[in-house]
Amino acid sequence: MKAKRKYILVPFDYSDYSIKASLLAFDLANKFNIEIIFLHAYQDEESNVSEAANNAKDFYDKEIKAGRLPGAAYSFILRKGVPEDEIKRFIRGNEPLVIIMGTRGKDRKINDLIGSVTAEVMDISEAPVFAVPESVELKSFNEIENIGYATSLSDPDLKAFESMMEFMKPYKFTIMFVHILESGEVASLYKGKIDYLQNYISDKYPNINTAFKLIPAEKSLAVELNDYYVANQIDVLAVKSNHRNIFSRIFVASLAKKLVFQAKTPLIVLH
């Protein structure tokens, strides 16, 4: 049965990387006083799915009781079927606040780096998807200091930005907007939009700091963006999923492997 109010969805396969990602879900659920729903989709050959869920519950309960994990309401939902299909059915008509997913890490092919299921969920979900690589040691959203936000500086990006702020607004961090200048574009064209965005954020989110970087698309995008993110110690990379957006097209096709720091940087995909 679907939740009747905002909740956090954690697609779950009992792997180490999905357990690590779930720790962030408890941190966020405790902050917002909302429920975590662990959704596990299994195939015909899987057995003992209920036993695995009970073992996971025992683990979380012990961690909460010991004070190592923030208290939060949670439940497990087990569904037989293809994971991405079951996730799509579950969230239809009842989008979560955010979907938090663990992803496999370095030295894997591009589809494995993001995770084929994670990539599918990024495409189908209108809710933000927070993908956490298995190599990342991130247990609390309070640890996030700098978010790199790849933007086209267009009005739709503001809607995507607000969907991120819906779950990030309790926290204090710096958001660094990065725009790739296409051929023929000059930075001065965006001064008005940058001023508007700075004023909008400072008025509505006074605890958030902003910075802007406009990068000419003269060199390799991977090199330009990677240099900027490394130099500015980006903790999380945010990008709007939009096939008409030049960054999104290139990012999904080729930059993920290079820009997610060999699976060391979490990724927020917005819509």
Q: What is the pLDDT of residues 174-188, one digit of tens each?
A: 999 988 787 777 888
Tokens of 103: 């992803």
Q: What is the pLDDT of residue 22?
A: 93
Cα separation, 223 vs 35, in Å, equals 40
CA distances from 91 to 5, 112, 124, 144, 238 (A): 12, 24, 10, 27, 22
Percent of the chain whose predicted confidence (pLDDT) is above 70 = 78
Checking if the pLDDT of 129 tops 70, the result is yes
For residue 190, which amino acid is it?
A: Y
pLDDT in the model for residue 154: 62
Output the pLDDT for position 167.
Answer: 95
The mean per-residue pLDDT over the stretch 6-34 comes to 92
**What is the chain's mean pLDDT, rounded?**
81
For the record, the structure tokens of 179 come out as 């725009």
Tell me if the pTM is above 0.75.
Answer: yes
Least confident piece of the model among 124-128, 157-161, 211-215, 223-227 = 223-227
50 within 8 A of 129, measured Cβ to Cβ:
no
Q: From CA 196, how far away is CA 200, in angstroms rounded?
A: 6
pLDDT at 263 over 80: no
Mean pLDDT of 212-225: 72
